[in-house]
Amino acid sequence: MPAVVVLGAQWGDEGKGKATDQLGSRVDHVVKFNGGNNAGHTVVIDGEKYALHLLPSGILSPGVTPVIGNGVVVDLEVLFREIDALEARGVDTSRLLVSSAAHLIAGYNRTVDKVTERFLGKRRIGTTGRGIGPTYADKISRVGVRVQDLFDEHILAQKVEGALDQKNHLLVKVYNRRAITVEETVEELLTYAERLRPMVTDTSLVLNQALDAGKTVLLEAGQATMLDVDHGTYPFVTSSSATAGGACTGAGIGPTRIDRVVGVIKAYTTRVGEGPFPTELLDDTGEWLRKQGGEYGTTTGRPRRTGWYDAVIARYATRVNGLTDLVLTKLDTLTGLERVPVCVGYDVDGVRHDEMPSNQSDFHHATPVFEELDGWWEDISHVREFDQLPAAAQRYVLALEEMSGTRISAIGVGPGREATIVRHDLLS
Ligand code: GDP
Ligand code: IMO
Ligand code: MG
């Protein structure tokens, strides 16, 4: 099994961290290929909870080489805070590799993120405020600062000057903020340069050599399909490629290397931030789901918006990612419902849609067409075999599999590493 991608099939927080962690002991490298510390992955091992933001979830598996790929945007202070916190808990982070081509988040990117959100007012995206979008904007505008620039102070100052030039005009004249100096930014970035240096390498070369040697590489996405800058609910998206294609560009490996694309999907749906969400529940049931599922953001602590499972989105995620498997998470959260509605299509101004509308306004106007399935009352958190699930829970999973177009290979019944029902091995 060469390269496997694990990604989110909805709007994030599907449980990618847990899925990656479970495969950790059987892979050689785990690569984060997109996003930055906007992500928040919770992994629970033997009752111990770890919240990871910038580091790949594979960091928790002894023996794995964790890799921060070129597609990631790196906040150095956050990186070392996270490393120090894990080391203090006895996790060995010494094998971490960081791409020399990854972009750096500077203080001015965080400032721009915050002021633009404030100025957008009602049209705000609801970003995590970590400077993610502005850093990717700099990358695409070709004024980004990369990890390798840290090791030549002259070049670093030149790049920072280029990046700040226009921004200071905007900050001072439009946003009424103080100008940010080249010196303070260079000083901020250099604080961690020497600590970072031994980790920096050509990670694309390392990964391709590992694949050539028959090693297994797991590519772990941050965010999710519906937050992808191309395929998500633009403009209410993040600024990176969170879909399967992003794994290739963000890690520097070719598509022919990828054997398996695993979509992680919740048994219902959540979203953080603004933007359309057809199956959203704004009533007591939505609050019940939030409480039952502990749906509060790992990164910002914001309450997550909640709604029913949406099979249109599952089919869309299957299509744009070429999914080979689904991991269905949080089935245990639905325990106790008499009936469980599932969205099978949309009604858009009287017209039935079975596929994701290609026009964003249609998606905003989409009303879900629900099918109601039977619920179950039994506690399923200790179940480890599919046929031990209550009959209604089995029927729920099989119905979702049928409507989503991809086989459900694993089912999560609790946050712990072991709380999973495996139907098909993801690595063979
Ligand atoms: P990620 O961003 O996709 O890695 O997901 P998050 O970690 O942000 O959110 C998923 C949450 O659900 C975390 O608190 C996990 O510990 C938890 N979780 C994952 N899988 C399951 C599951 O099958 N059942 C339950 N009850 N919790 C789960
Ligand atoms: P994980 O990896 C859920 C959302 C933000 C906002 C939008 C843009 O834990 O699934 P950004 O700061 O990226 O510019 O914000 O994207 N968002 C996430 N929502 N899970 C995430 O990551 C997210 N990362 C970003 O809430 O709506
Ligand atoms: Mg998360």
Contact 127, 143 (CB under 8 A): no
Q: Which residues surround ligand 3, an ion (CB under 5 A)?
A: 13, 40, 298
Residue 299 pLDDT: 80
| pLDDT value for 297 | 87
Angstrom distance (rounded) from CA 344 to CA 30:
34
Centre of ligand 2 from the C-alpha of residue 266, in Å: 16
The residues pairing with 261 across neighbouring beta strands, listed in sequence order, are 5
Ligand nearest to the CA of 334: 1
- Name the closest-CA residue to atom 6, ligand 2: 127
User: Per the CATH hierarchy, to which homologous superfamily does domain 103-194 belong?
Assistant: Adenylosuccinate Synthetase, subunit A, domain 2 (1.10.300.10)
Domain-by-domain residue ranges, the chain? 3-99+200-262, 103-194, 265-422
Active-site pick, 13, 149, 325, 332: 13
Smallest CA-to-CA distance from 186 within 217, 220, 149, 211 is with 149
Give, for ligand 2, the residue of 127, 236, 240 to mutate: max count of ligand atoms closer than 8 Å to Cβ.
Answer: 127
Instruction: Let me know if 364 is a catalytic residue.
Output: no
| Phi and psi angles of residue 94, each rounded to the nearest 5 degrees, phi first | -70, -15
Q: What is the pLDDT of residues 97-144, one digit of tens each?
A: 999 999 999 999 999 999 999 999 999 999 999 999 999 999 999 999
DSSP string over 61-82: STT-EEEE-TTBEE-HHHHHHH
**Quick count: other Cβ atoms within 10 Å of Cβ 344?**
17
Tokens of 407: 């086989």
Q: Which residues pair with 343 in a beta bridge?
A: 310, 370
Q: Which residues of the chain carry a pLDDT beneath 70?
A: 1
Mutate to test the pocket of ligand 2, among 13, 125, 128 (most ligand atoms within 8 A of CB): 128
Ligand of minimum distance to the alpha carbon of 418: 1
Q: Give residue 1's pLDDT.
A: 65
The residue from 41, 53, 103, 231 that is catalytic is: 41
Q: Give me the pLDDT at residue 193, please.
A: 97
- Rounded to 5 degrees, φ, ψ at 293 are -95, 0
Ligand 2 site, residue 17, Cβ cutoff 6 A: no
Closest residue to atom 3 of ligand 2, CA basis: 12
pLDDT tens digits for 115-124?
999 999 999 9
3-99+200-262 against 103-194: fold identical: no
Alpha-carbon distance 27 to 262, whole Å? 15
Angle formed at CA 238 by CA 235 and CA 240, multiple of 5 degrees: 115
> Looking at ligand 1, which residue's alpha carbon is closest to its atom 28?
415
Alpha-carbon distance of 180 to 253, in angstroms, equals 37
Query: 189 near 104, Cβ under 8 Å?
Result: yes
**pLDDT value of residue 125:** 95
For residue 11, is it left (φ>0), alpha (ψ between -120 and 50) or beta? alpha
The closest alpha carbon to 318, from 247, 401, 382, belongs to 401
- Give the right CATH number for 3-99+200-262 from 3.40.718.10, 2.60.40.1930, 3.30.2130.30, 3.40.440.10: 3.40.440.10
pLDDT for the residue numbered 300: 82
Tell how far CA 180 is from the center of its chain: 31
> Residue 13 catalytic?
yes
What does 351-419 look like in DSSP terms, one character per residue? EEESS--SSHHHHHT-EEEEEEEE---S--TT--SGGGS-HHHHHHHHHHHHHHTS-EEEEE-SSBTT-
At residue 217, the pLDDT reads: 98
Q: Residues lining ligand 1, judged by CB closer than 6 Å?
A: 8, 12-18, 40-42, 44, 298, 329-330, 332-333, 412-415
CATH 3.90.170.10 is held by the domain 265-422: yes
The helix (run of H) or strand (run of E) holding residue 87 is: helix 76-88
C-alpha torsion angle, residues 166, 171, 173, 177 (rounded to 10): -150
As given in the structure block, the two tokens for residue 6 are 């694990």
Query: Atom of ligand 2 at shortest distance to CA of 8?
Result: 10
